[in-house]
Amino acid sequence: MKPSRNLIVVDNLNDWSPDWTGYHVVSAEAFFITDAYTTSGYKIINLCRHGHTLSTGYFISLLAEARGHRVMASARTLHNLSSKRIYAEELDHLNALIRRSLARITQEDFTLSVYFGQNLAERHTRLSQQLFSLFPCPLFRVEFTFLRGKGWDIRSLKPLGLSEVPDNHLEKVKESIDTFLSKRWSAGRNRSNAGYDLAILHDPKETHPPSDEKALRQFVRAGRALGMNVDLVTRTEYPRLLEFDGLFIRETTSMTSHTYRFAVKAQREGMAVIDDPDSIRRCCNKVYLHELLRKNRIRTPGTAILYRGNVDQLAVRLGFPLVVKIPDSAFSLGVFKVDSLKELHKIVQRLLKTSDLLLAQEFLPTPFDWRVGILAGEPLFVCRYYMTNQHWQIYNHGAEGRFEEGDFDALPVKDAPACVVRTAVAAAGLIGRGLYGVDLKQRDGNIYVIEVNDNPNIDSGVEDSFLKGELYTRIMREFLKRIETMKHPSRPER
C-alpha cells in the first residue's frame, strides 16, 4: 500500500505512543538518511525539539524545505519564535483578545499550551487559534506574565517537541492532530500529480461577492485542468494559508478586513497573490486614486477633496448636481448624488463622522459605464453596465438590503473603442500588474476614468459571456506562470 504523503517526524520513535496507529511516523535520523524522503511531495509535521538555532527540529524543517516538501513548522517560523524582537511585532493586535481570554486568571504567571491551534480549556480556543495563525507551529507554549499597570505580557513563545508535552496533555495532542489532518492539511486532496496549490478566498454569505458560485466553480475547474490543486477557502482557514503556492482573493477587499491580512501574509511568504497588498491599498482609497490619476494626467470627471472647511467653495467650483463618495466605497454603497447646497451640508456632516476626507465629483450622466478588465497589463474583457431604470447608478440600493441592478452586455476587446481600452490599460498600469476592473465614462468625445477596482466582478453569464471558459483559463494560467516564476526564477517562461 502506498504510504501516506503526510509524514510526522519525531526525535525518537519512543516519543510516539504505540496506541496511536494509522499515521506515517519516522524518527529524525530516518528522515535525515532515508532516500525515499529526499523526493518532493511529502507534507511534514515536525514534532522534534527546537531549543536553539541549530537544533534538530530546525534542521528537519530546513531539509524538508530544501527537498521540496511542505513543512510545519517552517524554518522561518522556528527562527522567528526564537527571537522576541521578531515575534513581538506580530502580537500587538492581540492585546484585547489576550485580556478577554485571561480575564479569569488570578495568578501573575500563566502558561498556555497550543496544540495545532487548540488548548485544553475551551475559553482559550480563540486566542489559541489566533496565535496558531500567526505562528503555524504544531506544538508550542506561551508564557504570560501580569505587569501591574500594563496588563498581560507575553514573556516567551517556545516551540515544543512531542517529548516535551506533559503526559496528561497527550490525548489533546492526539485529538488536535486528527482534526488538523482531516480538515485542514489534507483536505481530501490527491497529490499524485504533485501540482501547485492555489487557494481562492471567498465568503459564501457575501451580499455582493466579486464572483458568484458558478464562476468560482469555473475557476476551480480551469485551475485543475492546468494541473493545479485549487481549494475554495474562507476567512476561518487562515492557518491553512501556508499550504498553498498562490492566493486568489474573490471576496470584497478592504484595508480593515481579513482580506488585507491574507494578502499581506501571502506576499510575505513568497506566494503568488491577486489582489496583492499594494493594489488593495491603492484602489481601496478613492482620495489616493484621484491624486494618482491627476498626477499622471489621466482624465477624470471634475474632482476635488472635500473636507469640513471647503464645502461652500467646492459647491461653487463643481456646481450641482455632484457626487459625494466616501474613500472606501464599493458597489455604489457610500456614493451619493447631491442636488443642492443644503443637501450637501447635510450629507457631509453625516459622512465626516467616519472619514476626515471625502471626495466630490462632477456628475456626468451616461446611459452606461464601460468596464475593462485588465490582467498583468493586458485587456481581458470589456463590458457595458447600464444604469438601473430611472436611477443614475448601476446599482439601486433599497430598504432592508434589497437592490436592483442594471442590464449589461459584453463584447470582444477588439470591438470596444480603442480609446476606452487604451485609457483603461494606462490607468491600471499605475496600480500594478494584478487583476483590475477599470470603470470609465464616454461623453462628448472624451473618456473619463471613474475608478480602478482591485477586485473586479467576474460573474457567470456577465463578464464571461463573450470569452466563456477561456476567461477563467487565462486567469488561472497567469497564476500558474507566476507560481512557476517564484518557484523556479531561472526557468524560462512557457
Residue 287 has pLDDT above 80, yes or no: no
Q: Is the pTM of this model over 0.85?
A: no
Across 127-157, b (16+ Cβ under 10 Å) vs e yields bbbbbbbbbbbbbbbbebeeeeeeebebeeb
Q: What digits encode the pLDDT tens for the residues 382-397?
A: 999 988 765 556 555 4
Domain boundary among 277, 310, 332: 277
Q: Which of 277, 311, 329 is the last residue of a domain?
A: 277
Per-residue confidence (pLDDT) for residue 35, from 0 to 100 = 85
List phi, psi (to 5°) of 308: -60, -30
DSSP state of 103: T
If one counts the domains in the chain, the total is 4
Q: Residue 212's pLDDT is what?
A: 95
- Name 273's bridge partners: 247
Q: What confidence score (pLDDT) does residue 143 get?
A: 94
Domain containing 355 — which CATH number? 3.30.1490.20
> Which pLDDT does position 40 carry in this prediction?
72
Residue 296 CB neighbour total at 10 angstroms: 11
pLDDT of residue 193: 37
Interior/surface letters 342-371, b for 16+ CB within 10 angstroms, e for the rest: eebeeebeebbeebeebbbbbbbeeebbbb
In the prediction, which pLDDT does 472 show? 97
Report d(CA 456, CA 177) in Å as an integer.
Answer: 39
CATH of the domain at 210: 3.40.50.2300
Pair 159, 137: CB distance under 8 Å: yes
Same domain membership, residue 87 and residue 229: no
- Share the mean pLDDT of the chain: 86
Q: Tell me the three cell numbers of residue 432.
A: 500594478
d(CA 455, CA 128) in angstroms, rounded, equals 31
Average pLDDT over residues 343-349: 88
In a domain, 26, yes or no: yes
CATH number at residue 438: 3.30.470.20
What pLDDT does residue 188 have?
40
User: Do 163 and 210 fall into the same domain?
Assistant: no
Residue 365 pLDDT exceeds 80 = yes
Identify whether the C-beta of residue 196 lies closer than 8 Å to the C-beta of residue 229: yes
Find the radius of gyration of the CA atoms of the chain: 26
Interval 335-349 mean pLDDT: 88
Q: Which of 69-78, 181-190, 329-338, 477-486 has the highest mean pLDDT?
A: 477-486
Residue 433 CB-half CA count within 13 A: 6
Contacts of 174 (CB under 8 A, 6+ apart): 17, 20
CB-CB contact of 421 with 378 (8 Å) = no
Higher pLDDT, 90 or 101: 101
Structure confidence at residue 186 as a pLDDT band (50, 70, 90)? very low
Residue 411 covered by a domain: yes
Q: What are the helix (H) ranges across 106-169? A: 125-134
Coil, strand, or helix at residue 158? Answer: strand
Between CA 264 and CA 92 the distance in angstroms is 16
Q: Give the domain extent around 30.
A: 6-185
Residue 92 pLDDT exceeds 70: no
pLDDT tens string 234-260: 998 887 888 899 999 999 998 888 999
Taking alpha carbons only, the member of 117, 159, 115 closest to residue 134 is 117
Q: Are residues 216 and 85 in the same domain?
A: no
At 273, list the grid cell. Answer: 497573490
**Among 435, 92, 94, 65, which Cα is nearest to 263's?**
435
Q: Does one domain contain both 240 and 177?
A: no
- Same-domain pairing of 320 and 449: no
Distance separating alpha carbons of residues 240 and 242, to the nearest angstrom: 6
Q: Does residue 473 lie within any of the structural domains?
A: yes
Instruction: Say which amino acid occupies 396.
Output: N
- Kindly state the helix (H) or strand (E) to which residue 249 belongs, with its residue range: strand 246-249
39, 134: one domain: yes
Q: Which of 133, 162, 185 is the last residue of a domain?
A: 185
On whether residue 486 sits in a domain, the answer given is: no
- Helix, strand, coil share of the chain (percent; to 5): 40, 25, 35
C-alpha angle with apex 18: 13 to 19, nearest 5 degrees? 145
Which residue's entry shows cell 449589461? 408
Residue-wise burial string across 60-69, b where 16 or more C-beta atoms lie within 10 A, e elsewhere: bbbbbeebeb
Same domain, yes or no: 10 and 136: yes
Stretch 399-413: mean pLDDT: 72
pLDDT number for residue 255: 81
Residue 441 domain-assigned?
yes
Is residue 176 located within the same domain as residue 64?
Answer: yes
Please name the helix (run of DSSP H) or strand (run of DSSP E) that holds residue 439, with its range, or none. Answer: strand 435-443
Grid cell locating 54: 541549530
In a domain, 489, yes or no: no
pLDDT, position 184: 53
Q: CA 325, CA 210: separation in Å to the nearest integer? A: 20
Residues 162 and 268 occupy one common structural domain? no
One domain for residues 43 and 150: yes
Residues 40 and 144 in one domain: yes
Q: In terms of DSSP H, where are the helices of 226-295?
A: 258-268, 277-284, 286-295
Is 492 among the domain residues? no
Comparing 97-101, 319-323, 394-398, 483-487, which segment has the lowest mean pLDDT?
A: 394-398
Q: Which residues, 6 or more positions from 204, have their beta carbon under 8 angstroms from its beta carbon?
A: 213, 234
**Are 352 and 415 in the same domain?**
no
E strand or H helix that includes residue 219:
helix 213-225
- State residue 349's pLDDT score: 87
* The pLDDT of residue 18: 86
The reply to whether 374 falls in a domain is: yes
- How many Cα atoms occupy the beta-carbon half-sphere of 468 within 13 Å? 0
